[in-house]
Amino acid sequence: MDSRDNIQLKKSTSRLCISAPGHGKSLRQIRVIITDLSRQIGFQEDEVAKIEMSVDEACANVVEHAYDQSRDWILKDNPKIELHIHTENDRLIIQIQDHGQGFDFAAYRPTNIIERIRAMRSGGYGIAIMRQFMDEVEYTSDPETGNTLRLVKYLKKT
Amino acid sequence: MKDFRIEQEPKGTVQVIRLHGSLDMYSFPRLETQLQTLFQQKHHCVLLDCSQLDYIGSAGLGALIGFAKQARENNGDLKLLHVPERIYKIIELLGFTKVLQVFNAEDTAVTSFPKP
DSSP letter for each residue of A87-144: EETTEEEEEEEE-S----GGGPPPP-HHHHHHTT--S--HHHHHHHHSSEEEEEEETT
Domain covering B5-111 assigned CATH 3.40.50.300 in the classification: no
Q: How confident is residue A73, by pLDDT bands cut at 50, 70 and 90?
A: low
Nearest residue in B to A60, CA atom: B25
A115 burial class (0-12, 13-18, 19+ CB within 10 angstroms)? exposed
For the stretch B80-104, pLDDT in tens is 999 999 999 999 999 999 999 999 9
Q: Do B25 and A25 count as a contact with CB atoms less than 8 A apart?
A: no
Q: Does residue B115 have a pLDDT over 70?
A: yes
The interaxial angle of helices A45-61 and B58-72, nearest 10 deg, is 80
Q: Specify the pLDDT at position A2.
A: 45
Domain map (residue ranges) of chain A: 2-154
CB B47 within 8 A of CB B16: yes
Say if A123 is an interface residue toward chain B (CB within 8 Å).
yes
Buried b (16+ CB within 10 A) or exposed e, B77-112: bbbbbbbeeebbebbebbbbeebbbbbeebeebbee
Nearest CB among A49, A63, A117 relative to B65 is that of: A117
Q: What pLDDT is stored for residue B89 in this prediction?
A: 97
pLDDT beyond 70 at A52: yes
**What is the secondary structure of A52-97 as a DSSP string?**
HHHHHHHHHHIIIIIT-TTSTHHHHH--EEEEEEEEETTEEEEEEE
CB contact under 8 A, A49 and B86: yes
- Nearest Cα of chain A lies from the Cα of B66 at a distance, in angstroms, of 5
Assembly ipTM? 0.93
> Rounded to an integer, what distance in angstroms lies between the CA atom of residue B35 and that of residue A94?
35
When the pLDDT of each residue in chain B is averaged and rounded to a whole number, the result is: 95
Q: What value, to the nearest 5°, has the Cα angle with vertex B107 and ends B101 and B113? A: 50
Q: What is the pLDDT of residue A82?
A: 94
CB contacts, 8 Å: B61 with chain A: 125
Which range has highest mean pLDDT (A62-76, A103-117, B38-52)?
Answer: B38-52
Q: Which residue of A has its CA nearest to B66?
A: A122
Tell me which CATH homologous superfamily contains domain A2-154: Histidine kinase-like ATPase, C-terminal domain (3.30.565.10)
User: In what side-by-side order are the strands of the sheet with B77-81?
Assistant: B5-11, B14-23, B45-56, B77-81, B102-103
pLDDT band at A157 (very low <50, low <70, confident <90, very high): low
Assess B26–A contact: CB distance below 8 Å, yes or no. Answer: yes
Domain boundaries defined on chain B: 5-111
pLDDT tens by residue, A121-141: 988 899 999 999 999 999 999
Residue A4 has pLDDT above 50, yes or no: no
Range of weakest confidence among A77-81, B3-7, B11-15, B52-56: A77-81
Determine the average pLDDT of the residues in B37-47: 97
CB contact under 8 A, A64 and B25: yes
Q: What is the pTM of this model?
A: 0.92
Chain A: give the shortest CA distance to residue B96, in Å. 6
Half-sphere exposure of A19 toward its Cβ, with a 13 Å CA cutoff? Answer: 10
pLDDT at residue A68 is higher than 90: no
CB A68 within 8 A of CB A100: yes
